[in-house]
Amino acid sequence: MTPPWLREVNGGVELAVKLQPRASREEISGAIGGELKIKVTAPPVDSAANEALVRLLAEKLNCPRGAVQLVRGQTSRHKTVRVAGMTAEVVAERLKVAG
């Protein structure tokens, strides 16, 4: 069963993310409700936090940076991120986050 923050779409998957900028360290904290909480050290200025989010996910998923794209929530803490060319099972396994 796939977690509630992860859903398959045509050509990849989408993640519902709650982003916490200006954290003390970059990490994937776990699932909160229907979202995956991710902390980044970058401030929410000039898309720095969004860029840090995309970079962190690409690193954790071991995929090219270009495969990870922010599709919704550019100025919000609640974001939707699309990862091209991966299945929900692979993403859930690589992120190792329970439900």
**Residue 69: domain span:** 6-95
Kindly report whether the global pTM for this prediction surpasses the value 0.75: yes
Q: Is residue 37 part of a domain?
A: yes
Distance of CA 65 to CAs 9, 32, 51, 83, Å?
Answer: 19, 25, 10, 10
Q: Is residue 1 part of a domain?
A: no
Quick one: average pLDDT of 22-37?
95
Structural domain count of the chain: 1
Q: Is residue 90 part of a domain?
A: yes
Question: Does position 1 have pLDDT exceeding 80, yes or no?
Answer: no
Token pair recorded at residue 14: 């989408």
Q: Give the integer Cα–Cα distance in Å for 19 and 32.
A: 11
> How does pLDDT run across 69-84, given as a tens digit for each residue?
999 999 999 999 999 9
Residue 97 — very low, low, confident or very high, per pLDDT cuts 50/70/90? Answer: low
Quick one: average pLDDT of 7-14?
96
Q: Give the integer Cα–Cα distance in Å for 36 and 44.
A: 18
For residue 2, the model assigns a pLDDT of: 85
